[in-house]
Each structure stands twice: as C-alpha cells, then as structure tokens.
Structure 1
Amino acid sequence: MLLTCTAGSLARVLIQNLLLSSTIGITTATGIATMSTEASNCAAGLHSIAYVTTPNEKSAKELARKIVEQKLAACVNIIPGLTSVYEWEGKINEDHETLLMVKTRTSRVDDLSKFVRENHPYSVAEVISVPIENGNPPYLEWLSKTVPERKTN
C-alpha cells in the first residue's frame, strides 16, 4: 500500500494528534508523569554492568554481599568456574577464578571500583564496566530504586 500526504493533510494529522494528546494529557496526567519517570529510569547508559574477578567463591560471596549492603549494586551474580589466562609481572598465568557480574548505576561505578580496591584480596583488582543500552523496564526501574544516585559534595 502506498500512502501519499500533501502538506495540508499532514498539517491536519499533526493538529489532530496534538489535540488528541492534549486531551489525553489532561485526563491522565498521573499516568503520563509515571510513564515519564519510568522512561527516565530506563534511559540507555543510566545503568552499567561491572565485572570483577575474585580468587574463589568464598571471597566472591563476601565481596558481593558487602557491595549490595553498601547499596553500590542492586544485584551481584556470582559465576564460578572461570579460567583466566593473563600476563602478570612478565609471566603468563592461568588461574581458576570466580566472576562477579555487578548491576549498578553508571554514576556509581567509580564508587564501586574504589570499594572493590579497598576490600579485594588482589593487589590489582579487575573492575571493568559496560553501559546497559536496553533492558526490561521493570528490572531497570528496580535497579534505579535500589541503588541511590551518587552523592555530590
């Protein structure tokens, strides 16, 4: 099907949509405010996933619990059975590790990184993050409600 639109008919459609949205806005102002809040809490890049490796499950559980208690993350998944191959002090190493997948606000990644450095058994702790570009809106809402914004001084 081919649709054509002249300038006059386009203007009529835009005016009708504007009037319709104005009417909806008056009758459902609360719903629109809620939708706006939800949309802002689901914006691309507002949240991040940080990855942290630990030497074993025991240290992973201890660190994960502290991270959540400090409200630096809403959830930390503990993924055992990881093998890491890396160069350290001029030598190639291969170690079994446990991975933490930390869901947090992007604005809190620096705080999370500092906390991990201060509470991690490694002298150089791995903390790397990637922004969440898209996700389940109710989950991202929960993440936003659980992890407070970074405090500014």
Structure 2
Amino acid sequence: MAVNSAPEKVISQSIAPRTCIILSAFVVFVISCFCIATIEKGTVAVASSSSMSSEAPAPQQYQAGLHSIVYVTTPNENSAKTLARLLVERKLAACVNIIAGLTSIYEWEGKINEDHEQLLMIKTRSARVDELSKFVRENHPYSVAEVISVPIENGNPPYLDWLSKTVSEG
C-alpha cells in the first residue's frame, strides 16, 4: 500500500497547481466573454454577449434627482420601526434602513444636548418628499422632527427601477 499511496501524493501535488491555473484562466475567459461593462457619461450598463447586437435597445439613462434619500432621526428603536413600517405600508418609501447607535450632539432651547438616536435612511421619489415630510411631522414623537433629503444622482439601474415601481409618482 505504501507504494500506491506515494505516487498519488506526487500526482495530486503536481496536478493541483496546474488545475488552479487552468480553472482561473477559464473563469477569466468566461467573465470576459459573457460580461461586458460599458461606461458612458457616468452610468454603467451591463450586457451579456448573447444580448448584444445592433438591434439591442440602448440602456435607459437615469434622470438624476428622480429619487431622493430622506434622513430622519428618532429617539429609539420602537419609534424608528413604527415610522419605517408606516412609510413603507403607505407607499411613501420603497425601503427604510434603520441605523442604530447614532449619537447626536445639538443645541436645543439654549442648551447643548447629547442623545442616542436611530437614523432612518428612507428611499423615495423626490416628488413625494413633501408628502413624506408631512407624514413624518404628524407621526413623529419629536415636536420638531429632523427631515432632510438629498437627491440621488445615479445608482444601480435595476434598484432605481424597483424604487420607481414601488413608490408611485403620487
């Protein structure tokens, strides 16, 4: 048995590096053949080689600012989850991320405060920000709720398309 096991070790040791190199080359070949990334004017379009022809439609350009991210702070996890769920249920937001462990330092009524808060990162249509802001003010535990928004300039086209389908224009 010792005679049979030694050659197996030698064979496996000599084949393994070659197999890895061949496998790596194959993966690079497959990726380069089937995925072509085109970068145009700040957008990325990905197409498979089977869908690339002179008849293939051009990727749609994203209209910068069509969507926004709205930031809202809340005093605790319960109020964050309640508000997030209400926004999604009412189709004012496609998605709300709750970011815990936030520390806010701010001046309020002449006094410097430091509080632990939750941050809501809300994805919506820019056309719905005013309606969303009004909803937050009416359902937020703070007398003056933080509601600020920034437009989305660009992003993953399938995600932005999903966002558009999830939140209507109003």
State if a TM-score over 0.5 links the two structures.
Answer: yes
Using the alignment, how far apart are the partners of 2:154 and 2:135 within structure 1? 26
RMSD in angstroms over aligned alpha carbons?
1.3
- State the SS of the aligned residue for 1:43: coil
Indicate the residue corresponding to 2:128 in structure 1.
Answer: 108
Indicate the residue corresponding to 2:71 in structure 1.
Answer: 51
Larger RCO of the pair (alpha carbons < 8 Å, separation 6+)? 1
Query: Bigger radius of gyration, 1 or 2?
Result: 2
Find 1:122's aligned residue among 136, 139, 142: 142
Instruction: Report the count of equivalent residues.
Output: 117
- TM-score, normalising length from structure 1? 0.73
Indicate the residue corresponding to 2:104 in structure 1.
Answer: 84
- Per-residue CA deviation, residues 20-39 of structure 1 (Å, 9 max, x unaligned), is xxxx5xxx4xx64xx57x43
Indicate the residue corresponding to 1:63 in structure 2.
Answer: 83
The Cα of 1:43 is off from its aligned counterpart by 1.2
Alignment of 1:99 onto 2:119: yes
Indicate the residue corresponding to 2:163 in structure 1.
Answer: 143
Using the alignment, how far apart are the partners of 1:99 and 1:48 within structure 2? 16
The Cα of 1:104 is off from its aligned counterpart by 0.4
Query: Percent identity between the aligned chains?
Result: 78
Unaligned runs of 5+ in 2: 1-53
1:10-49 correspondence runs (5 A): 28=55, 32=57, 38-39=60-61, 42-49=62-69
Using the alignment, how far apart are the partners of 1:106 and 1:145 within structure 2? 14
- TM-score, normalising length from structure 2? 0.66
Unaligned runs of 5+ in 1: 1-23
